[in-house]
Amino acid sequence: STVSGDLAVTADGAVTDSGALTVAGTTSVSAGAGNNVTLDTAGNDFATVQIGSGNNVALVDTNAIDLGASTVSGGLTVTADGAVTDSGALTVDGTTSIAAGAGNNVTLDTASNDFATVQIGSGNDVALVDTNAIDLGASTISGGLTVTADGAVTDSGTVVVAGLAAITAGVGNGVSFDTAGNDFATVQIVSSGDVTIRDTNAINLGTSSISGSLEVSADGEIQVSGALASNGATVLTADADADGTGDFTLLGGASVSTNGSSLVVQANDFVLSGTINTAGSTLTIGASDGGTIGLGDASGNLSLSNAELAQISASGTTFGGATSGSIAVDGVTQAASSGLGTVTLDASQATETIVIDGGASFFGGLQASAANEVRIEADVTTLTAGMSLDGDANGVIDGSDSIVLGATLTSATDLTVTAQNGDIVLIGNSALNAQSGNVVVNDAIDGGFDLTISAVSGNATFAAPVGSGATLGAVVLQADIATGEIHANSLSVDAGSANLTGSVGGQGGAGGAALVQNNGSSDILFNTFTVSGTAAANGSGANLSRTRIVETGHRTGSDVEPSENNQLVIESGEELAQGGGVCETEDDPSVAKLNLIKDPSRIVVLQPPGVSGEQFDQCEEESANRPAVAQLPSIN
């Protein structure tokens, strides 16, 4: 049929064609809501078609076709060799399938359109408007896709868009393109609630405003080229298939902000030229497929230079995690880490390690946990928060499991060191400093090097012996309260009060000395403390005491052999008074007692019997309830 004007068809049954229809004007068809309309002859050529009523509707046009106001109670299928447009509101209860050809546009943008599912078999630039929610079925779009809806925007099939996909769902309405085979070029979310996007290749995220959470997963690269802003928990996962080819790239001038919500980014590598800002929430950066991480000047599969770290602002930043490998740190500057908050290094998987070496590194706070070992050979300082190290985070015996230390650790607050199945091993002179907090060492420290432990406004606590396996060199201990067991060649204690067990001077009485300097008025208590060299103490108005034995000799077998070279020297600015208790060289009362001898320089020496000089009364017989005490008056 050839109609030079309009064609109107009204039927109480199906409307079909059996030959080519050419209608120059508007074709209006009403078949009833339960009856199909099938005008699918290949040579049909319509101008505008409007369906007053019909169930499943199929239209074929050899050129462009326009859809007027239509109500379709079933599905709508349109196949054209030209553009597909609308000039009236379309209401389609079923699936709308449009095939316009790769070079032809599909524009169904009347404000009151109401679709259920739309699938684009072929089309160039596609624009869809829906007054409610809309679902996208399997679609292949050679140009861009624009979807504007007053409800949620979802997919139920694979969506492939070669150009820009711009989605507006309205505040509070979600966007979910989570089909595994989706393939976008650039996605721009104008406004929406929660957003989920899955891409089988690389994806570029343009300027977007998201009122809820955001989750983007791509098997390739995730690139951010505009201002990406979310208001909920955000997860960006590149290299989702873990094949080692998928970086996270933040272009210059671009940004990622989460407005107080957490951000997790995982990728094979990072390229940060733009800024990341969580506005007071946390950031987690992980390497994909078990890749290593390098910070500062350190290298890794995923590396972040000081310049890149300086682009980050978060309340706390975690590097590593379940998909990441070992972590290396070299020379992270104060300027680079100033926006990171407390930094967590998480290498707790399998047998992963953490190595901090090269140049000194600075953090706000630091928590470093490794499954196999934390090795620190460069100074580390935290400026605002504490420091915690764990060399055996998984609690499994699978290697060193130790803290290996050859540097100075300085914490703004508390400093905690743990190795669980390992030890803290010194490989160089080291220091543990807590500037305004406690030092807590939960496992044994060994190694023949010097160690300074300083908690000038807090406590120093050792849950396991210090130097019991391999005697340390010189140990300097400064704390308000110090408690634990220490074995060293020499020991200097400056504490408000201390309760210490251990030995000083090494084996066989060789070398070393113990200097106890008590600047407060509290007591220092030695519990079975062995001194193989000269021991000295000074203080002001406090007690220096021991509950069992202070050995000033060295052992041969089980005997104690006093020597004039092995002395306990107590220095004070005023006269010293001897307390009661045991001053014997060992538990056996038959062994000769030691004398307290004072000289004109107000120095009291606890020496073997027979040494000349003015002396206090000899100590009384041993009594577990009467420890020996030397009173330390103020120093003049």
Listed range (358-362, 373-377, 499-503) with the worst mean pLDDT? 499-503
Q: Report yes or no on 567 lying in a domain.
A: yes
Provide the pLDDT confidence category of residue 237 given band limits of 50, 70 and 90. very high
Q: Do 427 and 474 share a domain, yes or no?
A: no
pLDDT in tens, 284-333: 999 999 999 999 999 999 999 999 999 999 999 999 999 999 999 999 99
Q: Which residue has the tokens 């492939």?
A: 160
Provide the pLDDT confidence category of residue 506 given band limits of 50, 70 and 90. low
Q: Report yes or no on 23 lying in a domain.
A: no
pLDDT above 90 covers a percentage of the chain that reads 69
So what's the pLDDT on residue 513? 52
Q: Do 336 and 366 share a domain, yes or no?
A: yes
Provide the pLDDT confidence category of residue 530 given band limits of 50, 70 and 90. low
Q: Report yes or no on 416 lying in a domain.
A: yes
Mean pLDDT value across residues 439-452:
94
Strand partners, 369: 346, 390
> Which element (helix H / strand E) includes 635?
none
Provide the pLDDT confidence category of residue 616 given band limits of 50, 70 and 90. very low
Mean pLDDT value across residues 52-67:
99
So what's the pLDDT on residue 396? 87
Number of domains in the chain: 2
Mean pLDDT value across residues 498-504:
79
CA distances for 156 relative to 76, 113, 172, 181, angstroms: 17, 20, 21, 11
Is 588's pLDDT higher than 90? no
So what's the pLDDT on residue 627? 35
Mean pLDDT value across residues 326-352:
97
Listed range (15-29, 544-558, 601-615) with the worst mean pLDDT? 544-558
Choosing from 415, 443, 471, the residue where a domain stops is: 443
Q: Do 539 and 613 share a domain, yes or no?
A: yes
Choosing from 443, 460, 475, the residue where a domain stops is: 443
Q: Do 422 and 451 share a domain, yes or no?
A: no
Is 609's pLDDT higher than 90? no
pLDDT above 70 covers a percentage of the chain that reads 79
614 phi, psi to nearest 5 deg: -65, 135
Q: Do 476 and 558 share a domain, yes or no?
A: yes
> Residue 137 in contact with residue 117, Cβ under 8 Å?
yes
So what's the pLDDT on residue 449? 95
Output the pTM of the full model: 0.86
pLDDT in tens, 163-207: 999 999 988 899 999 999 999 999 999 888 999 999 999 999 999
Provide the pLDDT confidence category of residue 555 given band limits of 50, 70 and 90. very low
Q: Do 409 and 468 share a domain, yes or no?
A: no
Q: Report yes or no on 7 lying in a domain.
A: no
> Residue 157 in contact with residue 119, Cβ under 8 Å?
yes
Q: Do 435 and 566 share a domain, yes or no?
A: no
Mean pLDDT value across residues 341-353:
96
Q: Report yes or no on 72 lying in a domain.
A: no
Strand partners, 543: 631
Mean pLDDT value across residues 363-388:
98
So what's the pLDDT on residue 610? 45
- Beta pairing class for 542-546 and 628-632: antiparallel
pLDDT in tens, 87-109: 999 999 999 999 999 999 999 99
Mean pLDDT value across residues 552-575:
37
So what's the pLDDT on residue 603? 42
Per DSSP (E only), the strands in 377-471 are 380-382, 387-390, 402-405, 408-411, 415-418, 424-426, 430-434, 439-441, 445-446, 451-462
Choosing from 443, 476, 498, the residue where a domain stops is: 443
- Which H, E and C letters describe 574-603, residue by residue? CCCEECCCCCECCCCCCCCECEEEECCCCE
So what's the pLDDT on residue 4? 97
So what's the pLDDT on residue 201? 98
pLDDT in tens, 566-575: 344 444 444 4
Instruction: Tell me how far apart the alpha carbons of residues 60 and 53 are, in angstroms, rounded to a whole number.
Output: 18
Q: Do 487 and 635 share a domain, yes or no?
A: yes
pLDDT in tens, 152-162: 999 999 999 99
So what's the pLDDT on residue 529? 57
Listed range (29-38, 209-218, 398-407, 557-566) with the worst mean pLDDT? 557-566
The range of the structural domain enclosing residue 420 comes to 280-443
The chain-wide mean pLDDT, for the chain, equals: 85
Is 553's pLDDT higher than 80? no
Q: Do 342 and 318 share a domain, yes or no?
A: yes
From the list 442, 467, 343, 453, the residue with the least C-alpha distance to 392 is 442
Q: Report yes or no on 461 lying in a domain.
A: yes
Listed range (54-58, 171-175, 409-413, 451-455) with the worst mean pLDDT? 171-175
Q: What is the DSSP secondary-structure string of 518-578?
A: E-SSS-EEEEEEEESSEEEEEESSEEEEESS-EE-SEEETTEEE--TT--EEEE-SS--EE
Mean pLDDT value across residues 601-615:
42
Mean pLDDT value across residues 493-510:
67
Q: Do 480 and 369 share a domain, yes or no?
A: no
Q: Report yes or no on 36 lying in a domain.
A: no
So what's the pLDDT on residue 417? 97
Higher pLDDT among residues 498 and 271, named by residue: 271
Q: Do 436 and 471 share a domain, yes or no?
A: no
Q: Do 292 and 401 share a domain, yes or no?
A: yes
Higher pLDDT among residues 237 and 583, named by residue: 237
Within 134-283, residue ranges assigned H as helices are none
So what's the pLDDT on residue 562? 34
Q: Report yes or no on 526 lying in a domain.
A: yes
